[in-house]
Amino acid sequence: MCQLQEPHYNISELLEACKFGINIEIWRDAKKDAEQYFNLHSKAEIFSFVSGDQIESLIFIKTEPLRLEGRLKDVKVDSYEFKTGKIIGYLAFLKSMGTWSIKSFKYHHKMNFSGLMDNEKVKNALKAAGISRKQLHQRSENHDR
């Protein structure tokens, strides 16, 4: 029996770090994307957004090793999708040497089903229903219109 992957980190600890602005940083690209897609201009605005009630429907996608310059590091990254209004967002974060880091904070124009598609039960259920990965993405895109 295949089980769903569990997050490596307790996201409530990240939310608490964001709420108080303690032991938390944001990567440069994540800060640029937050400004571009969510109109958040400072670290304080980003941390407030993440820890506040603007994020709805937070869904865990997967945990994977941190990849820097093509090399895998001995640090895990948890990624989530979320909804805010009609926007689907993506949040990825890690914790290293006692400090949280927001690695990615960006807009997703469609749902990313990769975390679900790694699960054998979900794959089998979709196959039994006659739904392909492509059809699933098309249904998501049509729903957003």
- Pairing type for strands 99-108 and 87-96 reads antiparallel
User: pTM of the predicted model, to two decimals?
Assistant: 0.72
Closest to 25 in 3D by CA, of 40, 7, 9, 46: 46
Q: What is the pLDDT of residues 10-62, one digit of tens each?
A: 999 999 999 999 999 999 999 999 999 999 999 999 999 999 878 888 889 89
User: Is the predicted pLDDT of residue 138 greater than 70, yes or no?
Assistant: no
Considering the segment(s) 11-109 as one domain, its CATH architecture is 2-Layer Sandwich (3.30)
Out of 80-89, 112-121, 128-137, pick the least confident: 112-121
Q: Pull the structure tokens for residue 120.
A: 């054998």
User: Is the predicted pLDDT of residue 109 greater than 70, yes or no?
Assistant: no
For the chain, the domains span 11-109, 113-145
Q: Pull the structure tokens for residue 104.
A: 């990615």
Spatial distance between the Cα atoms of 132 and 129, rounded to a whole number of angstroms: 9
For residues 55-71, b (16+ Cβ closer than 10 Å) or e, as one string? beeeeebbbeebeeeee
Closest to 93 in 3D by CA, of 35, 50, 43: 50
Higher model confidence: residue 23 or residue 118? 23
Under a CB-based contact definition with an 8 Å cutoff, are residues 14 and 76 in contact? Answer: no
Under a CB-based contact definition with an 8 Å cutoff, are residues 91 and 83 in contact? Answer: no
What single-letter DSSP state applies at residue 119? -
Q: What is the pLDDT of residues 64-107, one digit of tens each?
A: 999 888 777 889 999 999 888 878 899 999 999 999 999 999 98
pLDDT at 79: 94
